[in-house]
Every structure is written in structure tokens, then in C-alpha cells.
Amino acid sequence: MEEAKKGKLKSEKNIAFPMPRTVPTKQSIVIKEMQEKLALLIQGFNKMAKK
């Protein structure tokens, strides 16, 4: 019975919580926003080119 309790405690200690690989910085947020705006701009040019 005690072995089962010890085994359970060991497995509970091994629980890992997923963490983001990088913490977003102000610079990375600005870059992401610029990429999104650039993608929209390119879509607009592509639509105009098809006409």
C-alpha cells in the first residue's frame, strides 16, 4: 500500500506544464503586427493585379 502511495507521489512530482518557448517582447509584437499588415497589403495588390 505504501509503495502505491510513493509511486503516485513520484508521478505527481513529474507533472510538467507547457511553457511558451519565448516570451513576447515589444519588438516581436511590432514585427508580428507589421507582418500581418504586409500580408493584407500584398492581398490587396494581388486582387488589383487580377482585375
Instruction: Compute the average pLDDT of residues 8-29.
Output: 69
Sign of the dihedral through C-alpha 30, 36, 41, 42:
positive
d(CA 35, CA 45): 15
In the chain, DSSP finds a helix count (H) and a strand count (E) of 2, 0
- Out of 8-12, 13-17, 21-25, pick the least confident: 8-12
pLDDT of residue 37: 96
Confidence of residue 45 (pLDDT cuts 50, 70, 90): very high
Instruction: Compute the average pLDDT of residues 1-26.
Output: 62
Instruction: Compute the average pLDDT of residues 7-20.
Output: 59
Whole-model pTM: value is: 0.49
Nearest to 35 by CA among 20, 23, 19, 43: 43
